[in-house]
Amino acid sequence: MSEDNALEGEGGNTNAFEPSANFAAVPDDFQRLWTPHRLVYIQHGQQPHDDDCPFCLAPKGADAEGLIVYRGVTSYALLNLYPYNSGHLLICPYRHISTYDEANAAEVAEIGLLTQQAMVVLKKISRAHGFNIGMNQGEVAGAGIAAHLHQHIVPRWLHDSNFFPIIAKTKALPRLLGEVRSDIAKAWAELD
């Protein structure tokens, strides 16, 4: 039976069968970054009070404690505490602003520069094949910390996906955050 005939079905019903290409489980050209741990923020709107903003508190302490890998003039880079991949970095302005349009020219320039430097460093130390780079602006856009602007730099490698997060509810990260932070900070210092 051809697909065209299958679509007609019995009694001329044209909706008896649907081509498999229309099914949601069929692979497409999109790469998906599944982050089930973030669902609590989306469903419950759990945002820290401005006084408890982790991106304001991190630069006030030691770099190792705040996972900071580089401090610039207006902005800094740190590891994501809940990384999508090993080496997942965030670029944040020191100033507590929520969206990119609130950043001044110096902050925009340094966020861009630190993003480029992060890519150079991650290519050097982890041989990343590519990157996901982006900003979620506001709670409605999925920002985990909506009140403080931050840009994600997620290193990617060919075939870096696996079934652990789906089957075992486990994300495979091959190195501890402290080790990754130390290596990135050292390589970043060599750029200056």
CATH code, domain with 128: 3.30.428.10
The C-alpha angle with vertex 32 and arms to 22 and 37, in degrees rounded to 5, equals 120
The answer to whether residue 61 sits within a structural domain is yes
Residue 22 above 90 pLDDT?
Answer: no
pLDDT at 74 over 90: yes
Concerning whether 150 is annotated as a catalytic residue, the answer is yes
Nearest-angstrom CA–CA distance, 188 and 124: 10
On whether residue 89 sits in a domain, the answer given is yes
Q: For residue 175, what are its two tokens? A: 């190195």
Look at the pTM and tell me if it is higher than 0.85. Answer: no
Domain membership flag for residue 62: yes
Q: Is 1 within a domain? A: no
Structural domain includes residue 7: no
Q: What is the pLDDT of residue 8?
A: 44
Average pLDDT over residues 37-46: 56
Cα-flanking dihedrals φ and ψ of residue 76, to 5°?
A: -145, 165
Task: Indicate the range of 17-26, 64-73, 147-156, 157-166 predicted with least confidence.
Answer: 17-26
**Tokens 């007609």 found at:** 8
Query: For the chain, what is the domain count?
Result: 1
Give the tens place of pLDDT for each residue, 28-37: 555 555 566 5
Q: Is residue 27 part of a domain?
A: no
Residue 188 has pLDDT above 80, yes or no: yes
Task: Name the token pair of 74.
Answer: 């207006």
| Whether pLDDT at 100 is above 70 | yes
Q: Are 39 and 76 in contact (CB under 8 A)?
A: no
Q: Does residue 26 fall inside a structural domain?
A: no
φ, ψ of residue 179 to 5 degrees: the values are -65, -45
Model confidence pLDDT, tens digit, residues 101-138: 999 999 999 999 999 999 999 999 999 999 999 999 88
Which one is predicted more confidently, 111 or 39? 111
- Catalytic one among 88, 148, 150, 152? 150
- As a whole number of angstroms, the distance between CA 109 and CA 93 comes to 11
98 is written with which tokens? 């929520």
Q: Which amino acid is at 139?
A: E
Per the domain annotation, does 90 fall within a domain?
yes
**What is the DSSP secondary-structure string of 118-148?**
HHHHHHHHH--SEEEEE---SGGGT-TTTTS
What is the predicted pLDDT for the residue at 170? 58
Which range (3-12, 142-151, 157-166) has the least confidence? 3-12
Please say whether the beta carbons of 87 and 184 come within 8 A: yes
Residue 74 sits in which domain range? 36-189
Instruction: Indicate if the pLDDT at residue 58 is higher than 60.
Output: yes
